[in-house]
Amino acid sequence: MRRITRNSRCITPALVLAAIAGPAAAVENGAGMYILGSRTSGAGMVAPAGTYTQQSYYAYSGDISGEIPNGGRLEVGVDGSAFIGLSSVLWSLESEPVLGGQPYVSFTLPYGYKKSEVDATLNAPGGDVLTGSKSSDSFLFGDPVLGAGLGWGQGPFYASLNMLINVPVGDYEKGRSTNVAFNHWAYDFTGGLTWMNADTGWQANFAAGVTFNDMNDDTNYESGDELHLEAAIGKTLNPNLTLSLQGYYYKQISGDSGSGALLGEFKGEVTGLGPAVAWNSDWNGTPLAFEARWFHEFDATNRLEGDAVLFNLMIPLGG
């Protein structure tokens, strides 16, 4: 069950306004720059030298509700949904190995639709009741993301180190709860491992990473640092089809801070689990790699809990 937990603090109308302004969940506006579940399959693998394009679509729907007690009571309910497209180009470099690994760089442009519905009620100790609600939606461009990394291995074991940098130049507006952009620098570092048995078709993947967030200077809100763990086990049934069970675990390892974090030092946590299907084919001689992943979330704290679907299509463009 999704829940909000807080230590005792003074409840004022400002807290109600803060809850209405954006989702009452950890990290600003309830979401970080790293897409949970994005590195479950092939966590340790880097594409062979060449140029690739990837089109991804991420859909999410979730909610959160709870109370913040302190003599009075602040009741908050949030429903959020998103449909985000991510257009990427990846260059796996034709160069000498770097530290023995295959280097790559990437560029991703996110864009999409977000909607939020927020209701908040303050029951004050004296019996006064203050309520408010807000619904908003928008289609916007987010912050571009730069990526780089190294990959090692020829099988059955593979390993990778990966870095993502969120560049805060997207379409952002202070007070808009449906921003796709974050308006602050963020840096993610993730390591991945893959074991793949070509004879049996079984494979296992694991990834661990941390996202470090800088201050949003427009709101004076600094989201806490975020730990994410991802894993998958799957089996290739034929040269085209792979089925797997995938999951992730997310936990904020430092609290939100800054004068804009009116709801305090929240720390979020959530787990997601679900199936995935991968299909390899070709179109007029061009290889196509398609994958669909579904995650159902549970055991959420200070974070929306819901369902996420991620579609990926990768196409090689040549060397």
The tokens describing 279, both together, are 């299909």
Q: Given this model, what pLDDT does residue 319 score?
A: 60
Q: Which helix (H) or strand (E) holds 15?
A: helix 13-21
What pTM was estimated for this model as a whole? 0.87
In order, the DSSP letters of 259-317 are TT-TT-S---EEEEEEEEEEEEEEETTEEEEEEEEEEEEEEEESS-EEEEEEEEEEEEE
Residue 168 backbone dihedrals phi, psi, to 5 degrees: -80, 75
Q: Which helix (H) or strand (E) holds 94?
A: none
Which region among 2-16, 56-70, 153-167, 187-201 has the lowest average model confidence (pLDDT)? 2-16
Strand partners, 50: 92
3-state secondary structure of 3: strand
CA dihedral sign of residues 249, 85, 39, 103: negative
Spatial separation of the C-alpha atoms in residues 278 and 232, rounded to whole Å: 13
User: CA distances (Å), 138 to each of 82, 172, 181, 304, in order?
Assistant: 10, 11, 12, 19
Strands 305-318 vs 286-301: parallel, antiparallel or unpaired: antiparallel
Domains of the chain: residue spans and CATH: 13-318 (2.40.160.40)
Residue pLDDT, tens place only, 192-231: 999 999 999 999 999 999 999 999 999 999 999 999 999 9
Strand partners, 271: 249, 298
Q: Given this model, what pLDDT does residue 18 score?
A: 47
Are 192 and 205 in contact, with CB atoms under 8 Å apart?
yes
Residue pLDDT, tens place only, 260-274: 887 777 789 999 999
Residue of 204, 206, 103 whose CA lies nearest to 163: 103
